[in-house]
A = this chain, B = another copy of it.
Amino acid sequence: MREFIIVGHKAITSGEFPLNDMPGSAGRIDILARCINSAFFTSFSIRRDTRIILVLLGEPDPPKVLRFEGSELKYLNPDERSAGSLIKKALSIDARDNEQISTRGVYVRRANLKDVLGDVDITNIIYLHETGEDIRAVNLNHEHMIFILGDHLGLTKEEEALIHKTKRASLGPITLHTDHCIILVHNELDRKCLKS
């Protein structure tokens, strides 16, 4: 299992946003939509072994957590509007502490990053950060690999404090967009786990 946790600090927490303006009035929901594409698509199929957790902290109703489960996903196409549309539907549900299903493989609940981290073995998490060890040298040989990434704003000091014991890994000499980082992590895992 490969799991990606992404924090969207400005991401809108209502379904009332236009799919034509995801970067603007929706608080950079476009970033999260592209992360969904990166997490799940290969050339001919969906990565069924992958999960993405989106922590949405923007107005008007934060915090909310969306879970996209590759093993169950059905209504997802590669274009940004398709992922945006699934996010929009999930955010239109009145979020409760207990997770509710939105569309197949997409879940929503009232939760924050601390709640999300409480669900997983924090020692399995890798924080993708420029200051980390080169991912090509990192042991990725665990059956449940969890990666945490910031959005365009990175992670705050308070958020970093929640994961201060986790290992950091870097992806190369240039700081990249979150969705591009996911592609590089998948490739590294593909190379290490799928060697013929």
Q: How far is the CB of A75 from chain B (nearest CB, A)?
A: 14
Contact B173 A77 (CB under 8 A): no
Contact B184 A187 (CB under 8 A): yes
List A10-47 residues whose CB lies under 8 Å from chain B.
19-20, 22-23, 30-31, 34, 37-38, 41-44
- Complex formed: what's the CA distance from A172 to B44 in Å? 15
Which residues of B have CB within 8 Å of A183?
176, 180, 183-184
User: How many residues of chain A are within 8 Å of chain B by beta carbon?
Assistant: 36
- Complex formed: what's the CA distance from A34 to B77 in Å? 13
Number of copies: 2
Residues of A within 8 A of B (CB): 19-20, 22-23, 30-31, 34, 37-38, 41-44, 77-82, 152, 171-177, 180, 183-184, 187, 190-191, 194-196
- Complex formed: what's the CA distance from A30 to B19 in Å? 15
- Complex formed: what's the CA distance from A37 to B80 in Å? 12
Given the known interface contacts A30-B79, A184-B183, the answer about A177 and B42 at a Cβ–Cβ threshold of 8 Å is: yes
